[in-house]
């Protein structure tokens, strides 16, 4: 019996000795330094950022969609934001449009109101008599300082003869905003060369101009490139600051 106990104690002793030797032979862990790469910490940081991405998805798309978002999609969103952190930030310039000067064309029968009448009236008059709803809408869109071609219509003359500027935005003489609206315009200057409708229709740069498609519309917008081209065909207008008619002191009117 004593021999069995002795053998058992020897086995226990050898087992404890083996374990102590193994522990002594194990290398010391490397001390952490600034140059060591904290793999575990880095992994935790990445996972924390992914949690932030899922939180963004939760706020943007709602809880149901965020919870059902596959892990691959979350990883994709995470890497996209890491590569381009400005992607989801609003550009301060976006959504803020700076509206420039507008250009228009006003038609009038020379027998009713001609360029000569406009010039002889001190240059200022109210532009009334517009019945068409679309034309009235254009009048309401005009702003102070906008420029308008003064166009003679009718069988005897169809041409741009001058330029006027808007000096008072739309109003209703009756006080009813749903009634006929008018604007006040002032003569700027006569075209140095009157631009005939036939010449405009033959010009390739004016193809598609709304006046060709809606010949009965009396008030219409003029795109800037069309405005510039018609001015070129007419050698500009008095007061545009280009010619030798004393317009050098005027502001640039187009």
- pLDDT digit of tens for each residue in the chain (254 aa)? 566 656 666 776 677 766 666 655 555 444 433 333 333 334 444 444 544 434 444 444 444 444 444 444 444 443 443 444 443 333 333 233 335 899 999 999 999 999 999 998 789 999 999 999 999 999 999 999 999 999 999 888 899 999 999 999 999 988 776 788 999 999 999 999 999 999 999 999 999 999 999 999 999 999 999 999 999 999 999 999 886 665 444 445 55
Asked whether residue 16 is domain-assigned, the answer is no
CA–CA separation, 155 and 72 (whole Å): 72
Residue 153: partners with Cβ closer than 8 Å, 6 or more residues away: 107, 108, 109, 218
Q: Residue 159's beta-bridge partner residues?
A: 152, 196
Number of domains the chain is built from: 2
Q: In the prediction, which pLDDT does 46 show?
A: 44
Q: In the prediction, which pLDDT does 43 show?
A: 45
Q: In the prediction, which pLDDT does 26 show?
A: 56
Asked whether residue 58 is domain-assigned, the answer is yes
Pair (78, 108) in one structural domain: no
CA–CA separation, 10 and 2 (whole Å): 12
CA–CA separation, 252 and 254 (whole Å): 6
Pair (68, 171) in one structural domain: no
Pair (75, 110) in one structural domain: no
CA–CA separation, 209 and 199 (whole Å): 13
CB 127 within 8 A of CB 139: yes
Pair (130, 49) in one structural domain: no
Q: In the prediction, which pLDDT does 179 show?
A: 82
Domain that holds residue 44: 39-82
């Amino acid at each position: 019996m004593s021999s069995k106990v002795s053998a058992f104690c020897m086995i226990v002793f050898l087992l404890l000795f083996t374990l102590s030797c193994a522990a002594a032979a194990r290398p010391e862990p490397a001390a952490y330094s600034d140059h060591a790469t904290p793999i575990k910490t880095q992994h935790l940081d990445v996972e924390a950022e992914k949690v932030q991405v899922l939180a963004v998805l939760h706020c943007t798309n709602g809880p149901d969609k965020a919870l059902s978002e596959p892990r691959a999609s979350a990883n994709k969103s995470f890497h996209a934001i890491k590569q381009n952190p400005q992607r989801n930030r609003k550009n301060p310039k976006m959504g803020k449009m700076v509206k420039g000067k507008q250009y228009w064309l006003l038609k009038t029968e020379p027998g009713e109101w001609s360029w000569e009448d406009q010039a002889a009236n001190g240059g200022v008059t109210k532009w009334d008599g517009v019945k068409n709803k679309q034309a009235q809408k254009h009048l309401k869109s005009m702003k102070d300082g906008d420029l308008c071609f003064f166009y003679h219509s009718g069988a005897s003359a169809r041409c741009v003869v001058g330029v006027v500027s808007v000096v008072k935005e739309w109003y209703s003489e009756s006080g009813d905003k749903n009634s006929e609206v008018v604007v006040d315009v002032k003569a700027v200057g006569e075209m140095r060369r009157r631009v005939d409708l036939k010449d405009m229709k033959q010009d390739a740069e004016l193809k598609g101009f709304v006046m060709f498609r809606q010949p009965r519309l009396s008030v219409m917008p003029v795109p800037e490139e069309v405005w510039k081209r018609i001015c070129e065909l007419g050698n500009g207008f008095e007061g545009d600051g280009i010619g030798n008619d004393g317009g050098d002191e005027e502001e640039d009117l187009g």
